[in-house]
Structure 1
Amino acid sequence: MKTSQLINEFLQTKNIAVAGVSRNPQGGVGNFIYKKFKQSGYNVFQINPNAGTIEGDICYCDLKSIPQKIDSVFIATNPEQSLAVVTQCIENGVSKIWFHRAFGNGSYSKEAEDFCRQNNIIPITYGCPVMHLQPVDFGHKCIKFFMKLSGKI
């Protein structure tokens, strides 16, 4: 299946969890993506095992703590934590998984990708939803252009 099709399927879901939202007031990738999903009308849930709330929204310690059925998970953790998140996805029946990855590894882990594939899940291993959620800022338009040129998305 082409990455563009996987991305379209991911973005057609409504209940999305973002793993790796930061407690840091300056936030991080996970916080930015969480806000973008929220602004775009998704039912989005934050996951951070060390936070009760972030910026006034409930933050769940893990996937199974979320009271609604989650359709998709966006991983914005350190790569070392990605396998644990993928394991939670599999345990909770989530088959749409996206690793944040633009330059460098981002949240991508080869071990986590392999575990997805061993469990019949084809994850999205490049890119960022912000490249697709309208309105797309200039920086993300450029990243998307170069990722398309390189065949990554």
Structure 2
Amino acid sequence: MTYVEQVKRTFLSQPQFAVVGASKDQSKWGTKVLKWYKDRGKRVTPVHPREPELEDLPTVKSLSDLSVPQETAVSVITAPPITIGLLKEAKALSIPALWLQPGTHDDTVVSFIRDNNMEDKVIYGGPCILVEGDGILKSML
């Protein structure tokens, strides 16, 4: 098993999940990722600063509002400048794993991950959970 595969398994083995970047727009990737978790019966919380609920799920305003952040894997679908702030917050909260979906990171984000020794907690640079998630879940059975 490769290093990245192990991080993905760690990500999907968490008891809770959160999605940052979902919205009321059904066509947006963040909402599609949120639905992916919901459709698989995962305990998922949308993180949104203004919406009280998304996809019939109550939201929290920030990662620090998650009930058990240290047991929550976080899917990130945000612009790179927002992603940096989320990574800082995630590090402070001891969030075990984050999956940065395509388009959420740039050189600054990657440098932050490396400079803060977060390579063993952050998935980036590859396909999104919508492409790989089911295969990973199946391999964990």
Task: Give the structure 2 partner of residue 130 of structure 1.
Answer: 130
Q: Distance in 2 between matches of 1:97 and 1:133?
A: 13
Q: Distance in 2 between matches of 1:100 and 1:111?
A: 16
| Structure 1 position 114, deviation (Å) | 2.0
Q: Distance in 2 between matches of 1:100 and 1:40?
A: 19
Q: Map 1:1-153 to 2 at 5 A.
A: 2-24=3-25, 26-69=26-69, 70-101=71-102, 106-122=103-119, 123-125=122-124, 126-134=126-134
Return 5+ residue gaps in structure 1 as ranges: 136-153
Question: How large is the RMSD of aligned CA atoms in angstroms?
Answer: 2.1
Q: Which amino acid aligns with 1:107?
A: T
Q: Which amino acid aligns with 1:49?
A: P
Task: Give the structure 2 partner of residue 148 of structure 1.
Answer: none
Against the structure 1 CA distance between its residues 9 and 113, is the aligned structure 2 distance closer, same or farther, given a 3 Å change threshold? same
Bigger relative CO (Cα 8 Å, ≥ 6 apart): 2
**Is this contact kept in 2: 1:40–1:134, CA < 8 A?**
no
**Is this contact kept in 2: 1:96–1:121, CA < 8 A?**
no
| Structure 1 position 80, deviation (Å) | 2.3
Q: What TM-score, normalized to structure 1?
A: 0.75
**Is this contact kept in 1: 2:18–2:47, CA < 8 A?**
yes
Q: Which amino acid aligns with 1:114?
A: S
Q: What TM-score, normalized to structure 2?
A: 0.81
| Structure 1 position 127, deviation (Å) | 1.6
Aligned length: 131
| Structure 1 position 119, deviation (Å) | 2.2
Return 5+ residue gaps in structure 2 as ranges: 136-141
Q: Distance in 2 between matches of 1:60 and 1:71?
A: 13
Please give the secondary structure, in 1, of the residue aligned with 2:18. Answer: strand
Please give the secondary structure, in 2, of the residue aligned with 1:45. Answer: strand
Higher helix proportion: 2
**Is this contact kept in 1: 2:51–2:59, CA < 8 A?**
yes
